[in-house]
Amino acid sequence: MSETNVNAFLETEKIGKLMRKYAIPCIISLLVAALYNIVDQLFIANASYLGSYGNAANTVVYPMTVVALAFAVMIGDGCCAFVSIALGKREMERAHRSIGNAVVLSVIVSLILTAIYFIFMDPILTAFGGRVNEETFHHSKEYFTYIAMGVPFYMFGQAMNPIIRSDGNPKYAMASTLIGAVINMILDPIFIYAFHWGMMGAAVATVLGQVATAILAVWYLFHPRAVQLNRESFRIDLKLQVEFLILGVCSFLAQISLVAAMAAIQNMMVKYGGRHEIFGQPEYAQIPMAVLGIVMKFFQIVISIVIGMAAGCIPVVGFNIGANRKDRVKELLKKLLTAEALVGLVALFIVELFPHALINLFGAANESVYYTEFAVRSFRIYLCMMVLACVNKAAFIFLQSLGKAFESTMLSMVREVVFGVGFALLLPHFFGLDGVLYSMPVSDVLTFIISLIVLRNTWKYLSE
């Protein structure tokens, strides 16, 4: 089969079947990627010598992983959308050169970010609430030191994952991430419990898994399906890089603005937790930060499913837009939004009815009653508008896959920066620590109203 028609089935296969074929591997890939940090926190929380201090430290460091992911998905998702559209138009030259440039760019950016992390480690940790108490800061620095070493491998693997999907091999993309996560899951209990390496053990297990994923991505570059690479593919072309990076800006801003929101929320947790009658005491000061991390980890699982469904459809949408099959894209949009809403509904049911079960997974039995009470309250308030959050995220990514980078970017920025950061800073002035929790549902409701307007206009465009 020639390169020009290897992905032609994207224009003829049933939409529902294509969604399952591409979305399921993508969902699994993202869930597995999310498990890196979640598994670390599970084992850390249940280690008696780490407990909520280690949990809080994991929460402090997590945004720096998201920063690395932001750059990786900007390169990977942008290139994925670009390649998919190029394949739909049969522009093979631009497809293979964009992949080569994405590889070079991911390596360069990852090395620069690693250097920044090591040079500015202390102020970065402080900015994300690491100074809540000395024990938390000590664990944060130990964990971050080793996580930073793995940034080049992590970024390369995450950038190549969507590119591999765009080449028509979502199963390999899933498998490469899954193997890395399994390595992490096996090594975590050995390093944390058997070797007693603490935060260092959790981080080293994570990095070794990321190295495995990166190696598998390199192997795939030599054995692609639709797009064959050669030496010319890796020649730096700044104009081409700008073209595909523009399509990935939404993914970048979605992640980086999330970091801004995390910084605001985590600092408000430290500030207003310090004024709380219970959490203002040194021995309980880390609890709000630790609980926030647990709630975010559950949300990360849900949002990984949501993003996986939407991002998995990028090659399908891009190819059909390139082939001018708007009717198929319209059908996909309807099915996608319905599925995303159902995911949010199931997740909402779980957090509202079974918060204790979720908390117990993260070592609640070893903590005080204040830990459990605040965790239950956090789950039920912070995630109460999860259905709308799921639909919003799907809308952002769908617009990106259409090549509507501006609309997608603006929606994402409004949600995470204008509303996410704004309400996280404003509401605590009126409601104290609870105000931090209210910031999430309020932001999602307002964003949903805007998303409906944008989706209505998008539907009209697809109906032309």
DSSP 424-452: HHHTHHHHTHHHHHHHHHHHHHHHHHHHH
Q: Is residue 397 part of a domain?
A: yes
Question: Quick one: what percent of the chain has pLDDT higher than 90?
Answer: 43
How far is the first Cα of the chain from the last one, in angstroms, to the nearest whole number?
Answer: 34
Mean pLDDT of 345-361: 91
Residues near 15 by beta carbon (within 8 Å), at least 6 away in sequence? 316, 328, 331, 332, 335
pLDDT digit string, tens, across residues 163-216: 888 787 888 988 898 899 899 999 999 999 999 999 999 999 999 999 999 999
Q: Is the dihedral of CA 129, 130, 132, 136 positive or negative?
A: positive
Q: Is residue 404 part of a domain?
A: yes
Would you state the structure tokens that stand for residue 219, as one six-digit string?
A: 């192997």
Mean pLDDT of 343-351: 95
Q: Is residue 43 part of a domain?
A: yes
pLDDT (0 to 100) of residue 107: 96
CB 209 within 8 Å of CB 37? no
Residues near 127 by beta carbon (within 8 Å), at least 6 away in sequence? 263, 267
CA distance 69 to 14: 32
Q: Is the pLDDT of residue 365 over 70?
A: no
Residue identified by tokens 């999430």 is 440
pLDDT digit string, tens, across residues 413-427: 898 889 999 999 999
Q: Is the pLDDT of residue 358 over 70?
A: yes
Q: Is residue 439 part of a domain?
A: yes
**Mean pLDDT, rounded, of the chain:** 88
Range from 142-146, 170-174, 372-376, 444-448 carrying the lowest mean pLDDT: 170-174
Domain count, the chain: 1
Q: Is residue 380 part of a domain?
A: yes
Mean pLDDT of 15-26: 82
Of residues 210 and 317, the one with the higher pLDDT is 210
Q: Is residue 5 part of a domain?
A: no
Q: What are phi and psi of 323, to 5 degrees?
A: -90, 5
Range from 69-73, 74-78, 123-127, 251-255 carrying the lowest mean pLDDT: 251-255
pLDDT (0 to 100) of residue 121: 97
Q: Is residue 11 part of a domain?
A: no
Q: Is residue 293 part of a domain?
A: yes
CA distance 364 to 368: 8
CA dihedral 326, 331, 334, 338 (to 10 degrees): -150
Q: Is the pLDDT of residue 143 over 90?
A: yes
Where in the sequence is the domain holding 90, given as residue range(s)? 16-463
